Structure 1
Amino acid sequence: MRITNKLFFLLMTALPVAAIAGTAASANAYPWGEPGCPCATVLKTGSAASAGLVGAKLDAIDGTVKAFIADKTAPGAVVLVARRGVIAKWQAYGDAVLYTDAKFDKVAHPVPMTKDTIFDLASVSKLFTAVAVMQLWDEGKVDLDAPVAKYLPKFGVNGKQDVTVRELLTHTSGFRPDPPIPLYKIPGSRADRIDNVLQQPLEYPPGTHYVYSDMNFITLGALVEKLSGEREDQFVKQHITGPLHMTSTMYDPPASLEPRIAATEYQPWTHRGMLRGQVNDENAWALDGVAGHAGVFSDAHDLAIFGQMMLNDGTYDGARILSARAVRLLETNADSKFPLTGCGDPNGAKVPGSCVGNVSRVYNEDATGLGWSIDRGYLMGALSGPHTVGHEGFTGTMIAINKPNDIVVVMLTNREHPTRNGPSIVTAIRHVYTDVADAIPVVAPGGGDAWFSGYGSYLNRTLTAKVGAGGGTVSFKTWYRTDPGGDYGVVEASPDDQHWKTLAQFTGSSNGWRYKRYALPAGTQYVRFDYRTDSEINGRGWYLHDVKIGGHPPASWANPDNGWVKRGN
């Protein structure tokens, strides 16, 4: 019998989660990069083990979130983690509404955060615009490499006649980050304010610089409206959120939903007071709450559906939103000509060589597909990599997906409540995403425990083995995912524990477990494994298994408590 796409979805959704996700009692059945797919394509709630996640490590998220709430980074949050189509964690923390003003005066009755709290997504809205553009591309209505002015003639002024649709999507158009005058200060209608953006000049020649710009996506929103004949909120509802049954996702939520909505900031300069249910972004507000760069409200489950659609190559529950080819374009780096440039100290001076020590990387944080951010280690933490895509929002929102692990992670906070001038949420987001990555097991060949380096910035963790009689070689199996060119695993040998010779170093990804064997210099008495990291961006770490010297386990370990731990996943 020929199985069509629709029949496949019906068969998959008819099966219980255990039949799709497997009945293994241990998450180790689905190690890193091996989620055991085909997986469930429609989200279902299940256990951490059935999702291929280590429950105890996934629960570490609770402590991470409660800590940043306690230090007033944000009043509350909702976190959802789904792997293999199984929602293994979906938890609400703290409060959705806590303050009356920017002085942190508290409301009489705080509103607790719930799992279905609706958030102002801020720039995560750009993903909906990017998907809308690619739907038009699928229909043959837009050429990504055509000048924007072909579709929006008013755009083709002030040196912008050659800017392409693709350059808007990849933030390489040459636009400045924001309109020079906030749109709410410009008199006139929504159309007048959009025209003001379309007629702005460029700061750089097209295609020469990456500059993240809301103006790119305001323009793309106008493009969607022109080519479809629908306002963007109507288009998104008709072609994205409606078919996906994302019933809690919309622009301009009605007053009836206010009890479910998290507050953002107190905004006296727009004469709106404490915002709850009105878009926080002033420029989106000036465009009646509907803009290409901001304006979407959603909850964690709806946003997870959106992410799962991307994992499914454009489909969800029988509805095709995008072609698989369009999805690949969205998630493939289109800005590779803006590469890593080296290292730098806190004052920006270049430092040659590897980025080890008290220096920060000057890197292309802006690897970008068509609207989707790629490999943002400073946010995605140990889950980052060339196949991890997503986006963050100024209000404290984040979604990321990783296809090799079939995982979607949504973290929504109200970090702007009551003011945007509070602590940065970046570190908190990175730690949560690292907690998620840590819950994806790394299983040593044949099972058993392996030495693990741990996580952290500016680490220099050494694991030293004493060489007994009959040395001559050191061998081991290794698995690593580190920040390429920033974090290193180094293998060294010494005759006296003072003078060391490097035998090998590892950075980037091993792409699975690898067997390594090296000859030891004559007189070697010690072998050490040194894990060195720079700031902020750290991968999944370094594992060592079945370490042998001269074909035998080390005579002893000199410092097994130096941050290295033995663990089974």
Structure 2
Amino acid sequence: MMKKVLPLLFMFILLFSIFISGAASIYASESGLNTSDAHDVEMLQQPLDDIDLLIENAISEQVMPGAVVLVARDEQIVKHEAYGYAARYTDGDFTEMENPIDMQENTIFDTASISKLFTATAIMTLWDEGLFELDDPVALYIPEFATNGKEDVTIKQLLTHTSGFRASTTVPVHEIEGDREDRLDFVLNETLEVPPGTRYLYSDVDFITLGVLIERLSGQRQDEYVAANITEPLQMNDTMYNPEASLKERIAATEYQSNVNRGLVWGSVHDEKAWALDGVAGHAGVFSSAEDLAVFGQMMLNEGSYQGEQILSEEAFELITTNWNGAFPGQDQGLGWELNQSWYMDDLAEQNTIGHTGYTGTSIVVSPNNQSITILLTNRVHPTRNTVSTNPTRRLVSEKTASAIDAWNAESMMSLVERLVDRGEITDTPATQLLLTHLSAISHFESLDQAQKVRKHLQGFQTLVDFYKENNSITDNAYETLRTDIEYLTGKWQ
């Protein structure tokens, strides 16, 4: 009898093991980040589901032809969806393709200025090697940069957009005769618009110069250095400059550029300056997928490391995430990364929230306080850059991510109230105390699983919020944030 049972038992164990490993493969992503249900990381599902409609509405209003959204928390991907088309039009007149290409979760996008984050990271890996100090003059390492009064511009000023350069070059780079080196020489000889350190001026010239600095310090072209020191160690296999032609069907198309006789730009960099620099530049040129960018964001949440790979030292991470632009209110800036920018971070914006946007319609928001990553990738310049702004959509995706976290329970809503106070959106101290007291009571009934009392007290909390709005004790934005989250939390307890 035992001889018959043992083979059966062995087969059962074998089949069970195969089933478990298969199930695990369903929920494990290629990046190493796991896929999870929202409630496993204390997020509400409904706000995340509501992202679908707002993206679909934006597509119907021709804000963009397609998009990919990824939201992660605590190293778990809780939302990863594709919408619309990666390639839809053949020209700038919106002529439909015979066989448009659907957007996929793994579609690769021209990230535009998100490329600056890779440049800044590469620069700080060189800082970790002791090759320069942030306050060193750029001209110490690029002698020809010292022309036209730039001898005192520092590396840190380039990284924080306080060098004094204008937004772009005085003459379009693609109009400069010669090869990549000739065009870089032209950029290095550009003049300043204002003296260094006197104003915040967001500038591509800053980061083109930083790209040159990477090449001078490392002896490698920027794309080679970024691959060897960032994307390959992190196994970001869908992140690159100058994608191979074989990847074209996976890449989101961008603009029909008749002005430079490029036709439909699809599979090569959209930015004309980066294109003129052979697709490799400090300000633009990186192609990536949502999941790869999530790995990059998780590396930042881990303060410079990911899955045993130390990309940045803790000291470099601290420097990157420090606000160096205190002299320019509203322009909070780390090294490359932007800080606390509510215009696209919405309710995720805090003093230590980092992120960046890209002209092609991309954005990434990394929130250390929430341990969350919010990525919106669109091809909004397809087939023309003359489209509706993506910023409202960026804000809404960030808003829904924040709501999924803040409306999880009354305790998390208490943290939201405290943030609103810190931002000056709730100005009445007695009002603050009463709001927190009311939420504390709701939290008590949540702990007892008394749904009816939770709903009843949430109604009372809404009445209180209405009263404070009528008496101008809270801002319109704070009111809408609280009202929305009350609705979500109430829905949880239906």
Q: How many angstroms does 1:331 deviate by? A: 1.4
Matched residue type, 2:338: S
2:346 equivalent in structure 1: 381
| Cα distance in 1 for residues equivalent to 2:211 and 2:369 | 31
1:202 equivalent in structure 2: 192
Greater strand content: 1
| Cα distance in 1 for residues equivalent to 2:371 and 2:479 | 18
Asked whether the equivalents of residues 64 and 378 of structure 2 are also in contact (C-alpha less than 8 Å), the reply is yes
| Cα distance in 1 for residues equivalent to 2:77 and 2:487 | 29
Asked whether the equivalents of residues 122 and 395 of structure 1 are also in contact (C-alpha less than 8 Å), the reply is yes
2:174 equivalent in structure 1: 184
2:397 equivalent in structure 1: 432
1:67 aligned to 2:49? no
| Cα distance in 2 for residues equivalent to 1:83 and 1:478 | 17
2:375 equivalent in structure 1: 410
Task: Give a deviation string over 1:170-226, Cα, whole Å, max 9, x none.
Answer: 000000110011100000111111111111111111101000000000000000000
Change (3 A) 1:201 1:137: same
Q: How many angstroms does 1:481 deviate by? A: 2.9
For 1:232-381, list aligned pairs within 5 A.
232-339=222-329, 364=330, 366-381=331-346
Asked whether the equivalents of residues 489 and 529 of structure 1 are also in contact (C-alpha less than 8 Å), the reply is no
| Cα distance in 1 for residues equivalent to 2:43 and 2:317 | 26
Task: Give a deviation string over 1:131-178, Cα, whole Å, max 9, x none.
Answer: 000000000012111000000001011111011000000000000110
Change (3 A) 1:226 1:567: same
| Cα distance in 2 for residues equivalent to 1:177 and 1:292 | 14
Structure 2 residue corresponding to 1:103, chosen from 63, 70, 93: 93
2:220 equivalent in structure 1: 230
1:494 equivalent in structure 2: none
Task: Give a deviation string over 1:36-94, Cα, whole Å, max 9, x none.
Answer: xxxxx951111111122111221111111111011110000001111011011110000
SS class of match (2:347): helix
SS class of match (2:381): coil
Change (3 A) 1:396 1:150: same
| Cα distance in 2 for residues equivalent to 1:156 and 1:326 | 27
Asked whether the equivalents of residues 438 and 540 of structure 1 are also in contact (C-alpha less than 8 Å), the reply is no
1:547 equivalent in structure 2: none
Change (3 A) 1:324 1:93: same
Asked whether the equivalents of residues 411 and 440 of structure 2 are also in contact (C-alpha less than 8 Å), the reply is no
Greater helix content: 2
2:467 equivalent in structure 1: 528
Q: How many angstroms does 1:538 deviate by? A: 6.0
Q: How many angstroms does 1:318 deviate by? A: 1.0
SS class of match (2:417): strand
SS class of match (1:386): coil
SS class of match (1:108): strand
SS class of match (1:337): coil
1:86 aligned to 2:51? no
Change (3 A) 1:45 1:182: same
Q: How many angstroms does 1:419 deviate by? A: 0.5
Matched residue type, 1:379: Y
For 1:437-476, list aligned pairs within 5 A.
437-442=402-407
| Cα distance in 2 for residues equivalent to 1:226 and 1:408 | 33
Task: Give a deviation string over 1:304-362, Cα, whole Å, max 9, x none.
Answer: 000000001111111110011111211121101112xxxxxxxxxxxxxxxxxxxxxxx
| Cα distance in 2 for residues equivalent to 1:50 and 1:108 | 43
Asked whether the equivalents of residues 481 and 539 of structure 1 are also in contact (C-alpha less than 8 Å), the reply is no
Q: How many residues align?
A: 436
Structure 1 residue corresponding to 2:426, chosen from 472, 484, 488: 488
For 1:115-194, list aligned pairs within 5 A.
115-194=105-184
Q: How many angstroms does 1:443 deviate by? A: 5.8
SS class of match (1:369): coil
| Cα distance in 2 for residues equivalent to 1:371 and 1:406 | 20
Matched residue type, 2:102: P
| Cα distance in 2 for residues equivalent to 1:152 and 1:538 | 49
Change (3 A) 1:445 1:177: closer
Asked whether the equivalents of residues 264 and 274 of structure 1 are also in contact (C-alpha less than 8 Å), the reply is yes
| Cα distance in 2 for residues equivalent to 1:325 and 1:319 | 16
| Cα distance in 2 for residues equivalent to 1:173 and 1:57 | 41
Change (3 A) 1:119 1:443: closer
Matched residue type, 2:343: Y
1:354 equivalent in structure 2: none
Q: How many angstroms does 1:504 deviate by? A: 5.2
Structure 2 segments unaligned to the other structure (5+ residues):
1-20, 25-30, 442-465
1:398 aligned to 2:363? yes
SS class of match (1:191): helix
Q: How many angstroms does 1:482 deviate by? A: 2.8
Q: How many angstroms does 1:296 deviate by? A: 0.3
Q: How many angstroms does 1:486 deviate by? A: 6.1
| Cα distance in 1 for residues equivalent to 2:416 and 2:48 | 24
Asked whether the equivalents of residues 141 and 227 of structure 1 are also in contact (C-alpha less than 8 Å), the reply is yes
SS class of match (1:401): strand
Asked whether the equivalents of residues 357 and 364 of structure 2 are also in contact (C-alpha less than 8 Å), the reply is yes
Change (3 A) 1:80 1:126: same
Change (3 A) 1:539 1:379: farther
Asked whether the equivalents of residues 305 and 312 of structure 2 are also in contact (C-alpha less than 8 Å), the reply is yes
Change (3 A) 1:142 1:538: farther
Change (3 A) 1:135 1:184: same
Matched residue type, 2:51: I
Asked whether the equivalents of residues 42 and 408 of structure 2 are also in contact (C-alpha less than 8 Å), the reply is no
| Cα distance in 1 for residues equivalent to 2:205 and 2:92 | 28
Q: How many angstroms does 1:283 deviate by? A: 0.3
Q: How many angstroms does 1:383 deviate by? A: 1.1
Asked whether the equivalents of residues 169 and 371 of structure 1 are also in contact (C-alpha less than 8 Å), the reply is yes
Q: TM-score, normalised by structure 1?
A: 0.72
Task: Give a deviation string over 1:112-142, Cα, whole Å, max 9, x none.
Answer: 0000000000000000000000000000012
| Cα distance in 1 for residues equivalent to 2:185 and 2:79 | 44
Asked whether the equivalents of residues 489 and 542 of structure 1 are also in contact (C-alpha less than 8 Å), the reply is no
SS class of match (1:264): coil
1:567 aligned to 2:489? yes
Task: Give a deviation string over 1:449-469, Cα, whole Å, max 9, x none.
Answer: x8x9xxxxxxxxxxxxxxxxx
| Cα distance in 2 for residues equivalent to 1:304 and 1:76 | 19
Structure 1 segments unaligned to the other structure (5+ residues):
1-15, 20-40, 340-363, 453-476, 492-502, 516-526, 544-561
| Cα distance in 2 for residues equivalent to 1:306 and 1:277 | 22
Change (3 A) 1:255 1:121: same
SS class of match (1:96): strand
| Cα distance in 2 for residues equivalent to 1:540 and 1:328 | 34
Task: Give a deviation string over 1:269-288, Cα, whole Å, max 9, x none.
Answer: 11110111110000000000
Instruction: Judge which range, 78-87 or 46-55, deviates more.
Output: 46-55
Asked whether the equivalents of residues 381 and 431 of structure 1 are also in contact (C-alpha less than 8 Å), the reply is yes
| Cα distance in 2 for residues equivalent to 1:273 and 1:566 | 46
